[in-house]
Structure 1
Amino acid sequence: MNGGNRGARGALAAVGLAAAVALTITGCSSAKPSPTEAGAAGGSLVVGVTSDPDTLFPWKATQFQAVNVLQNLYGTLTEFDADLNVVPGLAESWEASEDGLTVTFTLREGVTFADGSTFGSEDVKFSLEAIAAEATAAVARTSLASVAGIETPDEQTVVLTLSAPDAALPANLAVINMAMLSSDDTEAELNTTPNGTGPFVLEDRKASQSLTLAKNDAYWGDAAKLDTVEFRVIPDESSIVSAMQSGNVQLAVFDDPLVAQTAESGTVSVEKTPQLSYHALQLNARRGDLADVNVRLAIQCAVDRQEVLDTAALGEGEVTGPITSPAYRSDPDARPCPERDLDKAAKYLDKAGKSDGVTIKTIVSQGEYATSVNEAQNLKAQLAEANITLELEVLESGAFVDRWIAADFDAAVALNGGRPDPDGMYGRYFTSTGNLNQVAGYSSPELDALFAEGKQSSDPDERKDIYAQISENLEDNAAWIWLFTSYSYTAASSEVQGFTPMANGSLQYLRTTTVN
């Protein structure tokens, strides 16, 4: 399957949903080529990765490696194409009522799960209701907050009744945390035997060593060109480069620019892709000294973001504010301290009654992305000059994710995924009812009202203004310390063709990849 053969776009009414698709289209100004079709079908690809997926259950996946695998095993009602436009997925079309309060999805016929069972409207109803149920602990639960009812008049039709128009719904339905599951499956079963509608199926898994996918011959779209894709676990990026140079690995995505430079050779090419994901020092505003906004503002003023970027990522990226979506991008200078200001930091600490300094326990992931420890060490050194001590606890990626999901931290050095629509990006974090609000550690009535307005508005300019206010609120209260966006570096050996890197980090175009 490729981005050019996805069928007609879903028909959307003017209220609510049309705005979401229109903004998604205008939201990516740097166009990418369509996935290449060159190369014969068949063959096997080995992808080098630094960590094993920590879950195979799509509704709870937050680790980047798990997401990358699951995107190739499961399907969603809508999808993103190479330019992050919303296009049909398991729903071949959708239409909203004039008032935006009813959305009708028409499902594709002939779609089956990996176990051979038929996909239909009852599976959509089951999946959406389960994702929305608090007991499931799905990480995308908040994205369905507007859904008041689900009806299935026939096997190919699903009707959603909304409590208010929801401009973000099409884009929110496209993420893998919204995967459609069989109503017969359970989380325990799927964590060992995935059963999706995607272009690949799970063939084999050796814990902490490798995970192998095989082509799904019954896939509803264009069949994957590769026979198998093996994700081979190699603990550090430099070792992956060595494996590529020896011919044992054909594809890898790096986040360390120095490693990417060493990878490029006569037989390995490297493509640099700007990412929507963002690096941040997350602060839990409900714990200890961080409950005082003045302590958080002191941290904000004591950080030189460009220095963090230069030190950890060789300057390969851009200093960022909260929202990285191109159509809504935050102004990184619109914050109380756009530049490092130690005098202001000292004044904020004094205002908090903490002129003698504070100590912040901070968790750091090692293994999920390459720059984390360098970022943490640079932040520690900078903040020490402001009498703020970061007490670092470095964890392997699985342990970090467990602590992060449980909000068991004062601060966290984090790389979080961005999305084309800012509601899906932050609504689940910074609203009082957001399912990840415990992790975010901050919400307010003002933010609740603004996020509600952003979802309901159908006017592009009005939505931009609303999310600019949200960004300003987050920065003025130093909810987190947003640092920078960076690049992904896709290294591919010369025999690999047809893979298209994406700004959201997705590996979905493994389905169009070939190995000569």
Structure 2
Amino acid sequence: MNIRLGRRSFLGATVIGAAASLVACSSGGAETQEQARQLVIGATAPPAALDPSTNSGAAIPQALLYNVYETLVKIDSDGQIVPLLATSWNESEDGLTYTFTLQPKATFASGAALDAEAVKTSLERVKNDDAVLATLKSQLGAMESVTVQDASTVVVKLSQRDNDWLYYAAQTAGIIYDPDGIDSLGTAPAGSGPFVFESWSEGNPMVLTRNESYWGTPTVFDSVTFKYFSDPTAENSAMSSGDLDVISNMQAPQAISQFEDPDQYTILNGTSMGEVVLGFNHQREAFSDVRVRQAINYAINRSDLLQTVTAGYGTLIGSMVAPTDPWYEDLADTYGYDPDTARRLLAEAGYGEGLDLSLRVPSLPYATSAATFITSQLAQVGITVTTDTLEFPSRWIDEVMTKSNYDMTIISHVEGRDIAKWANPEYYWHYDNPEFTQLITEAKTGPADEQTEKMKQAARVLADDAAADFLYSMANLVVLRAGISGISENLTSESMDLTAASSTDI
């Protein structure tokens, strides 16, 4: 979630991704040419709705952000903030004023002008519309006013410095919607990107088609189809048979060897923003004791877990920081595998005779596989775990995120810079640490050149306090049919950005 207290912040299956597909050309014929211009995308967890401003789930921006919807600035494949609908921007010395100069050629797919008034309408909607998700409101929360200086110039004033404001304006919170289509975003996404929404319904693929009037560099493909798979074996089979042409992010890395022929496939092994977390419900009595949290960290051999769940693909982490974050440092050894210490800590906390906990996980391959491994490991130190698999996204979101009806859970949080969610006691972990919250506040509102060090300090506090068991950061493991290019190795934003996707066959 991504309530969106941030449900977009996780994507069940992983950063799910996409796949690009190009059916091989044979000689001549209109049908062959049409097939050759299709892009078929294999994904895991389907969206639950279409409007990314009012509905949770990372699957929505993965398909629509940058492809159908655009923002003033975007996150590129290197993780840098670059121009998109704004040709340039200026930040005042005090960090309180951003002035954007708009792309003069930009229009919405409907043909309507994409001018400063349209930008003002979208940004103010995030601030003022109660239907917009809480996470998005929080991300742009420092925004005090949006002023139209002229048709091509927008001025945004903040109430206080926010060193993350521009970063979030480059993602879902900063989408510029066609004002004439806002009332129907739930059924007809209305943006300015190189693709337009064609169709989607529950249980069916999502189809995007080329925006024939796109203001920028057009896509080479006539259509994009996102196909969703709950079974990774079925997804791999679809790839092998030619029904899919890209798998992104592979849900069964153990099967990667079947795609190692370089004449047929290209494998991208990059990093993602997805932190896989064994989360604790801090409202439960057991988790109010740091010794219990530490014991669980010591009891799980995360290196072995990574081999079991992902065949070793991914990066061990010790806090809520992915390798793509500017303040990443290796904290994976904060709690090494030490079951004897785990037993001692549990005894000191009053659980020497044992501890019973529930583990409620989404019906996603990595989560169910990790749950089996973790249940076995915790049993060896005297913790009896009852595992319950919940349908994802709706039932898991309802039971875990909304109702907090769980002791422990496992999910991949894929929203960028989501460590800040630990500063919100109302979020579903219900973690409350004043020292951590103060550091996050100082990093966000203090001098920009101090942000990285403050965030590193915050990450260390979170790790030392064993706020969760931070298992690993997901690899962005992508398989492409040979000849397909323009898909980033690293997942640096909420989008599966297809704007540069191409093929040698076109």
Q: Give the shorter-chain TM-score range.
A: 0.7 to 0.9
* TM-score, length basis structure 1: 0.83
Q: What CA distance in whole angstroms lies between the structure 2 residues aligned with 1:391 and 1:327?
A: 38
- The one-letter amino acid paired with 2:468 is W
Gapped runs of 5+ residues in structure 1?
A: 1-38
- The one-letter amino acid paired with 2:52 is P
- The one-letter amino acid paired with 2:444 is K
Q: CA RMSD in A?
A: 2.6
| 1:146 has 2:142 as partner | yes
Q: Give the C-alpha shift of residue 515 in structure 1.
A: 6.8
| 1:44 has 2:38 as partner | yes
- The one-letter amino acid paired with 2:474 is S
- The one-letter amino acid paired with 2:376 is A
Equivalent residue, structure 1, for 2:254: 258
Equivalent residue, structure 1, for 2:428: 439
Relative distance call for 1:388 and 1:128 in structure 2 (3 A) is farther
Task: Give SS of 1:191's match.
Answer: coil
Q: What CA distance in whole angstroms lies between the structure 1 residues aligned with 2:504 and 2:50?
A: 26
Q: What CA distance in whole angstroms lies between the structure 1 residues aligned with 2:119 and 2:280?
A: 36
Relative distance call for 1:403 and 1:261 in structure 2 (3 A) is farther
Equivalent residue, structure 2, for 1:348: 345
Q: Give the C-alpha shift of residue 469 in structure 1.
A: 1.4
- The one-letter amino acid paired with 1:410 is D
Q: What CA distance in whole angstroms lies between the structure 1 residues aligned with 2:212 and 2:134?
A: 30
Task: Give SS of 2:200's match.
Answer: strand
Equivalent residue, structure 2, for 1:339: 336
Contact 1:51 1:208 in 2 (8 A): no
Contact 2:331 2:460 in 1 (8 A): no
| 1:448 has 2:437 as partner | yes
- The one-letter amino acid paired with 1:211 is M
Equivalent residue, structure 2, for 1:26: none
Contact 1:226 1:514 in 2 (8 A): no
Contact 1:278 1:486 in 2 (8 A): yes
Equivalent residue, structure 2, for 1:466: 454
Range moving further from structure 2, 357-366 or 380-389: 357-366
Relative distance call for 1:349 and 1:60 in structure 2 (3 A) is farther
Aligned residue runs from structure 1 range 14-413, under 5 A: 43-60=37-54, 62-71=56-65, 72-133=67-128, 135-186=131-182, 189-253=184-248, 254-265=250-261, 266-322=263-319, 323-324=321-322, 325-333=324-332, 335=334, 338-367=335-364, 370-399=365-394, 400-406=396-402, 408=404, 409-413=406-410
* TM-score, length basis structure 2: 0.84
Contact 1:284 1:290 in 2 (8 A): yes
Task: Give SS of 1:397's match.
Answer: coil
Pick one of 493, 500, 516 that aligns with 2:488.
500
Q: What CA distance in whole angstroms lies between the structure 1 residues aligned with 2:284 and 2:121?
A: 37
Task: Give SS of 2:393's match.
Answer: helix
Equivalent residue, structure 2, for 1:23: none
- The one-letter amino acid paired with 1:364 is V
Relative distance call for 1:77 and 1:179 in structure 2 (3 A) is same
Q: What CA distance in whole angstroms lies between the structure 1 residues aligned with 2:301 and 2:127?
A: 40
Task: Give SS of 1:58's match.
Answer: coil
| 1:430 has 2:422 as partner | yes
Task: Give SS of 2:53's match.
Answer: helix
Q: What CA distance in whole angstroms lies between the structure 2 residues aligned with 1:186 and 1:240?
A: 35
Q: Give the C-alpha shift of residue 326 in structure 1.
A: 4.7
Contact 1:132 1:138 in 2 (8 A): no
Relative distance call for 1:142 and 1:389 in structure 2 (3 A) is farther
Q: What CA distance in whole angstroms lies between the structure 1 residues aligned with 2:76 and 2:454?
A: 26
Q: What CA distance in whole angstroms lies between the structure 2 residues aligned with 1:206 and 1:100?
A: 43
| 1:475 has 2:463 as partner | yes
Q: What CA distance in whole angstroms lies between the structure 1 residues aligned with 2:179 and 2:239?
A: 41
Relative distance call for 1:497 and 1:297 in structure 2 (3 A) is closer
| 1:491 has 2:483 as partner | no
Relative distance call for 1:122 and 1:295 in structure 2 (3 A) is farther
Q: What CA distance in whole angstroms lies between the structure 2 residues aligned with 1:160 and 1:440?
A: 33
Contact 1:501 1:507 in 2 (8 A): no
Q: Give the C-alpha shift of residue 407 in structure 1.
A: 5.2
Relative distance call for 1:159 and 1:403 in structure 2 (3 A) is farther
Identity among equivalent positions (%) equals: 27
- The one-letter amino acid paired with 1:431 is A
The superposition leaves residues 388-415 of structure 1 with CA deviations (integer Å, 9 ceiling, x where unpaired) of 2332221232222444441533322011
- The one-letter amino acid paired with 2:347 is D
Task: Give SS of 2:326's match.
Answer: helix
Q: What CA distance in whole angstroms lies between the structure 2 residues aligned with 1:295 and 1:164?
A: 39
Q: Give the C-alpha shift of residue 374 in structure 1.
A: 1.0
Contact 1:237 1:259 in 2 (8 A): no
The superposition leaves residues 234-290 of structure 1 with CA deviations (integer Å, 9 ceiling, x where unpaired) of 332222222222222222211431132223344233222122322110112123432
Equivalent residue, structure 2, for 1:417: 414
Range moving further from structure 2, 39-48 or 318-327: 39-48
Task: Give SS of 2:377's match.
Answer: helix
Contact 2:68 2:193 in 1 (8 A): yes
Task: Give SS of 1:220's match.
Answer: coil
Q: What CA distance in whole angstroms lies between the structure 2 residues aligned with 1:95 and 1:295?
A: 49
Gapped runs of 5+ residues in structure 2?
A: 1-24, 26-32
